[in-house]
Amino acid sequence: MAVEYHFGQTGIAFEDVLDLYRASTLGERRPIEDHARMQQMWTSANLAVTAWEEGLLVGLARSLTDHTYCTYMSDLAVRVSHQRQGIGRELIRLTRAAAPDATLILLAAPKAVDYYPRLGFSRHESAWILRPSDELAPV
């Protein structure tokens, strides 16, 4: 069956988004029970691409971008029933096409560490994160 792709969050029921997080397993690594937080994550993303099959949300890419220098792709999720059909790759391609001059940046989930190198991503040896619970050390 044909998969259609759309940009933006307009007209998408938040319950469908939550369902996809669960159906892809990515929900295991996101604050899925905190609906207010998940809703803010979804609505505040300024580059969302979704994949649909006959009205069913089967994949999404949720990113934050300045459209010219960097795009942080926070979430890439495809339903388990629809994985390994090229949907993830197409979601990445479209995310990139929306901001072609921007470098795509992401943190791979454990289940996807071997996925991104297959698609041509390179590991960045000087990537750093500061979690909300981490102290900002004095200089």
Ligand X SMILES: CC(C)(COP(=O)(O)OP(=O)(O)OC[C@H]1O[C@@H](n2cnc3c(N)ncnc32)[C@H](O)[C@@H]1OP(=O)(O)O)[C@@H](O)C(=O)NCCC(=O)NCCS
Residues 27-66 that bind ligand X (CB under 6 A): none
Least distance to ligand X, CB of residue 45, Å: 14
Which residue, 72 or 115, has its beta carbon nearer to ligand X?
A: 115
Select from 3-11, 38-46, 76-84, 128-136 the region that touches ligand X (CB under 6 A): 76-84
8 Å CB contact between 26 and 73: no
Can you give 42-101 as a three-state secondary structure string? HHHCCEEEEEEECCEEEEEEEEEECCCCEEEEEEEEECHHHCCCCHHHHHHHHHHHHCCC
Least distance to ligand X, CB of residue 57, Å: 12
Residue nearest to ligand X according to CB distances in the complex: 88
